[in-house]
Amino acid sequence: MRITELEKEYRDDILDILSNSDERVQGIFLKYSDEVRFINENAVGRGVSTGRGIRLNWKKDKTNIRGKYTTTFHEMGHCIDRAAGGLSYRTPYLKEALENDFQSLVNEFMKEYNVSQKEAYNMIGDALQEDKYHSISDIVGGLTENACIGKYGHSVSYWKEVDNAIEAEAFAHFYEAFARNDVEKIEALSQMFPTAEKEFMNLLERG
């Protein structure tokens, strides 16, 4: 099902949220909206996006503790990334920006608190325990194969075995935050990954 074919409650919610998002987020959605399809709206377990479409549970996602429809927009980000031919990893720039931003933060921690890299990782991970930092926790986990991670993340095997996982997950996390115009998440992502945020926006314009 396309978004326009969804049950009215969810269709109206999703389109209303999108209408208040950044025009670049709206633009890339409109460009690839036919590729954003839903194959199961009452799924058990975590949401997932495959080549066939998105499976999730809208009733649960509407009251998601990480933000209303967080999973929906995250998986939509994956669909758009895939439809655009691997937009997040067609060039190395998003991953490089993520790595450089994170390393800059680690270096600041090491200098400011006179600690080792491992200790800096632990301090950063401890600061990422709140639900609102779920995106950052996951991205940082990917960059370090979970040596540094907060409350949320994928398994080490996922980061090791899935090609371009870091770029794809980061793109989906950024897309979710900006599509939902979640000011708190956007601010946190901007502070943690300033150059990666700029590259994400560049990707939307190039997509």
- What percent of the chain shows pLDDT beyond 90? 81
Read off the pLDDT of residues 22-62 as tens digits, 9 standing for 90 and up.
999 999 999 999 999 888 666 666 778 777 888 888 889 99
**Torsion region of 205: left, alpha or beta (phi above 0 gives left; psi -120 to 50 gives alpha):** alpha
**Of the given ranges (15-24, 47-56, 60-69, 181-190), which has the lowest mean pLDDT?**
47-56
Tokens (6 digits) for 74: 């995250």
In eight-state DSSP terms, residue 151 is S
Read off the pLDDT of residues 79-129 as tens digits, 9 standing for 90 and up.
999 999 999 999 999 999 999 999 999 999 999 999 999 999 999 999 999
Cα separation, 200 vs 26, whole angstroms: 14
Q: Please, are residues 196 and 94 in contact by the beta-carbon 8 Å criterion?
A: yes
